[in-house]
Structure 1
Amino acid sequence: MKSIYKISGIALLFLIFACTDNFEDINTNDTTIPKNQLEATDFFAGMFNNIYQNQPAWSTQLQQNLNGDVYSGYMMPPTGFASNINNMTYALVDGWNNFPWNVAYSNIMLNAFTIEGISKETNPKLYALSLILKVEAMHRVTDIYGPIVYSRFGENPLVGYYDSQETVYNTFFEELDYAITTLSDSSLPDVPGTFAATDQAYGGDIDKWVQFANSLRLRLAIRISKVNPSKAQTEGEKSLAHSGGLIDNNTNNFLVDGKVEHPLATIAASWNDIRMGASMESILTGYEDPRLEKYFEESEVSPGEYKGIRIGINADKPKYQPFSNIGESIIRTTLIQLMTASEVHFLKAEAALRGWAGAGDAQANYEAGIATSFDQHGVADASYASDNTKVAADYTDPVEAAHNTGAVSNVTIAWDAAASNEVKLEKIITQKWIAMFPDGQEAWSEFRRTGYPKLFPVVNNKSNGEIDTDIQIRRLKFADSDKVANSAEVEKAVSLLGGPDTGGTRLWWDIAGGNF
């Protein structure tokens, strides 16, 4: 991992206005549409490439890999960064944890702000596309920190005004409504031809963009289903009923192709700084899941076996580097996976449990989610979805017996119509968690929302009491770069958070207790 730099929040806002000092000109509805459209499309690459930053790898490592990828149970570094006083042992490193914030504001929000100024009046469909990308990127950011600067971004070059997470989510829904309605309106001008070459996901296919936007709205609706069930159902049913449909097969997955090798190839294969997580080992080996050999490589420490590392150990690279690396089919690609058809089937399965109109049958959606994930990864097992005996396996650390522990999940795979909704949800989320790999950020959010799948707790908790070992980490602290440049607003953000600025404070949608 390379050295860390910081971006000042105040400097960032000055940069925004320096880049848009011709705002009045570019926002004027005149006859220079082709020129303005071409300029707008030039700013999309910065958004595509930084939702999950595709380069440099060391920045991606700090944006997601050393937080969400680990906290989700997917991965764990063999490397004892900072003498194991780091994120993995809950001794949160402020310099690291600025990166999800700084990458988003210097790339996503800045570019979205610029596209809005150029195209909102001259080509609303182009503006609508930028809103979808902005929501996809920024829901990940608010799901890391809680309150963020969003609805009033760019209003004042000296101040970034924070919104509560509830306000941010309400704004997301408004923006997605606008985007879906606008893209579906045949009376409006089409997006310029230059967008197809810029579009790193769908090559300019607007129908697929509508499907993705509907699917994203369904994801966000499910996310708030515990804290605001009425609003969640309203927004979810909009997507389920929309004529444009949802992502329903793997050809329509939202995969961003920045034409550079996946950063995990560098982090895992070149630097040997990330390996399989112990929770992944427990669940995949216990289920004898055929995706295991696609997701990971057999270990060198126990030849012929897949071995993961528990979160929060005193990592020692020579001892733990021989554990299972990330699979070649995952890292030897230029595609960044951000949403798939399998996830959408699982979202519909949960929506059906909650009684949302248009969701269909929960079991059918659940089994379709498994089958679609299998298809995505080119594996097959005719009996997998009907297996009602296999459960997660106990964990054994071949180099440190003190880390051994029994399995914490006992949910089986096969659908059980007689089970409670809570048990059914545990099945849905466990399978969705497997299918969403390697996107640890979304998996961590779903674990916090539902408590599923059940994950091994941290071995060494060095948070000085700020994070409960059993409840596990709930968020990252606000970016210290903004605490210096925007201190009054960060103080307001803490009050909006509703608890101390620690990793143990729950987000707005993160409600303790059962899901039904």
Structure 2
Amino acid sequence: MRKGIHLQLLLVTVLILGACTGKFTDINKNPFDFTESDLKGDFQLMGAPLSQAQLYLLRYNDPPTAQLQQNLNADIFSGYMMSPTPFEGNINNTNYGLLYYWNNHPWNEAYHWVMKACVFAQEKAGDKYPDFYAWALIMKVEAMHRISDIFGPIIYNRYGKMNPDNSFDYDSQRDAYYSFFRDLDTAINLLTDYVNRGNPQRFQAFDLVYKGDYVKWIKFANTLRLRLAIRVNGVEKDKARKEGEAALKHPLGLLQEARDNFAVDISPVTHPLNIMCYTWADLRMSAPMESILSGYKDPRLPKYFVHTDEGPEIYRGIRNGIPISLKEQYSGYSKLVRLENKIQFMAAAEAWFLKAEASLNGWDGAGSAAYNYEKGISTSFDQYGVSNVAGYMKDDTSKARPYIDPNNRSNNVEAGNPHLSKITIHWEEQATPEEKLERIITQKWIAMFPEGQEAWTEFRRTGYPKLFPVVINNSYNTINTEKFIRRLPMPQIEQVTNPKALARAIATLKGKDNGGTPLWWDTK
């Protein structure tokens, strides 16, 4: 990390964490109080916390924590990756033997490092620093919609507000999403007005994504708004249309080009996935990735994964939830290509696929579904410097390839299996709406790699791309194998520190607090 940012984060961490009592419930408190004079010094006490928030969306400097924060849940559940390691005697998240001491980590990291920092910066900015206030809101939504999409109810509007019984109340997922839309609307309007007035752009020194480019932050916020609008369309169509069309019609628009990707620069620290894959050998290609990318003869395949020692054309992925007794059984399967020192949370290609789906929904401002679909693919190809996108998009015959596990034929997915996708690449205007949606989401899934959280969320929302169910299901019948895992149970640390509010939050779910209960927006 650059030395200046490191010193800023050290300062803000001391200030923020120094106010904590050491009890975990303090993630729900925000007892910091600094005078206006403390804000002098090049906006350090607003900018440095937001640098921290970016870096801790995924724990950039602590691979063991990052592995539990996202990799051994969403990255696996999304169908992107699989581990050859039989953790805990091969009873673990990969086969739905959910481990509470793993599943606390997404919650802990979000509240301890990100939510606290965003609220702190937001409160310090107030009305005097509208650009920093808007930035804090955008970062808060980016972080917390991910947590809501893991667990459901979250502490958002009532963050820092203790009840007389010492509890901290949650928002239902519906209420949280309504607040996300409100906060994005506020942030977009504030930042747009600030830019239109020709005011100075002041957070360049702290911005690890766009280097202080306010217009790109507005475009990102618009795209995030569209992402969330598309997400809720299955449960609240009017609200989805209103929010989606607001994003589509904003004069500064959405992310458009690969250079617009929302990716946090963690230089000189290496990407934590590199450590998991190469140093620990805990990470390999997934079976669905092998099936779809090989079947499509997708030129992005060697940009994502490394061929095996069997030959330059041989890529092998591991199926989720299979019997593994020794790591060596599957450690020779395809590794990830070493990632650059940036952690990607939104590819610009996603914006085009969102517009394609908005077009299917009939939303004003979306444009042509076919055009947006093809722009999504070409933008992804541009990101990886891959040519012949026209030939790829004309392919109307290639389909996902049957999966063969050379180690264990019982893990195979044969031709004709209902979990093996039959969708082709070429856009078919005469296809059914469902076939069009499958095409859009399948290509979107490919383009979003390696951001497993969003890929898992979109799979749950749409059922696409078609993935392979686990072979071993250690959920004790709480998760339906054919319906896949839908969420993580609420973190056990909240059961210990915030039990009364947690009980009220669980009552807002569609069922029991387990991995088989769908979230509010999940209608599949």
TM-score bracket, normalised by the shorter chain, equals: over 0.9
Counterparts in 2 of 1:233-312, with a 5 A limit?
A: 233-259=241-267, 260-300=269-309, 304-312=313-321
The equivalent of 1:372 in structure 2 is 379
State the one-letter code of the partner of 1:350.
E
What are the Cα deviations for residues 76-100 of structure 1, in whole angstroms up to 9, with x where unaligned? 0000000111001101000000011
Figure out how many residues of one structure are paired with residues of the other and give that number: 496
Counterparts in 2 of 1:74-473, with a 5 A limit?
A: 74-156=80-162, 158-186=166-194, 190=199, 193=202, 195-259=203-267, 260-300=269-309, 304-315=313-324, 316-328=326-338, 331=339, 333-381=340-388, 382-406=390-414, 408-473=420-485
TM-score, length-normalised on structure 2?
A: 0.91
How far the C-alpha of 1:35 sits from its partner, in A, is: 4.8
State the one-letter code of the partner of 2:282.
D
Q: Does 1:501 align with 2:508?
A: no
Aligned-pair identity (%): 46
Residues 493 and 36 of structure 1: is their aligned pair in 2 closer, same or farther, counting only changes over 3 Å?
Answer: farther
State the one-letter code of the partner of 1:297.
V
Q: Is the 8 A contact 1:147 1:162 kept in 2?
A: yes
What are the Cα deviations for residues 67-122 of structure 1, in whole angstroms up to 9, with x where unaligned? 11111110000000001110011010000000110000001111012112211222
Q: Distance in 2 between matches of 1:387 and 1:289?
A: 11
Q: Distance in 2 between matches of 1:113 and 1:105?
A: 10
The equivalent of 2:31 in structure 1 is 20
Residue 413 of structure 1 aligns to a residue whose secondary structure is: coil
> Which deviates the most, 461-470 or 250-259?
250-259
How far the C-alpha of 1:202 sits from its partner, in A, is: 0.6
Q: Distance in 2 between matches of 1:189 and 1:149?
A: 36
Residue 40 of structure 2 aligns to a residue whose secondary structure is: helix
Q: Distance in 1 between matches of 2:496 and 2:353?
A: 42
> Which deviates the most, 204-213 or 35-44?
35-44
Residue 200 of structure 1 aligns to a residue whose secondary structure is: coil
Q: Is the 8 A contact 2:28 2:159 kept in 1?
A: no
Q: Distance in 1 between matches of 2:55 and 2:83?
A: 24
Residue 134 of structure 2 aligns to a residue whose secondary structure is: helix
What are the Cα deviations for residues 381-422 of structure 1, in whole angstroms up to 9, with x where unaligned? 231111111100000001111111125110011111111111
Residues 95 and 302 of structure 1: is their aligned pair in 2 closer, same or farther, counting only changes over 3 Å?
Answer: farther
TM-score, length-normalised on structure 1?
A: 0.93
State the one-letter code of the partner of 1:446.
E
> Which deviates the most, 358-367 or 107-116?
107-116
State the one-letter code of the partner of 1:85.
I
How far the C-alpha of 1:50 sits from its partner, in A, is: 1.1
How far the C-alpha of 1:34 sits from its partner, in A, is: 3.4
How far the C-alpha of 1:491 sits from its partner, in A, is: 0.8
Q: Distance in 2 between matches of 1:145 and 1:16?
A: 17
Q: Distance in 2 between matches of 1:482 and 1:49?
A: 24
State the one-letter code of the partner of 1:469.
T
State the one-letter code of the partner of 1:112.
C
Q: Is the 8 A contact 1:37 1:192 kept in 2?
A: no
Residue 483 of structure 2 aligns to a residue whose secondary structure is: coil
Q: Is the 8 A contact 2:39 2:46 kept in 1?
A: no
Residue 217 of structure 1 aligns to a residue whose secondary structure is: helix
RMSD value, Cα: 2.0
Q: Is the 8 A contact 2:167 2:500 kept in 1?
A: no
Q: Distance in 1 between matches of 2:443 and 2:201?
A: 40
Q: Distance in 1 between matches of 2:198 and 2:245?
A: 28
What are the Cα deviations for residues 25-60 of structure 1, in whole angstroms up to 9, with x where unaligned? 54xxx6876358331112112200111221201111
Q: Is the 8 A contact 1:301 1:322 kept in 2?
A: no
4+ residue runs over 2 A deviation: 7-10, 12-17, 30-38, 157-160, 186-193, 300-304
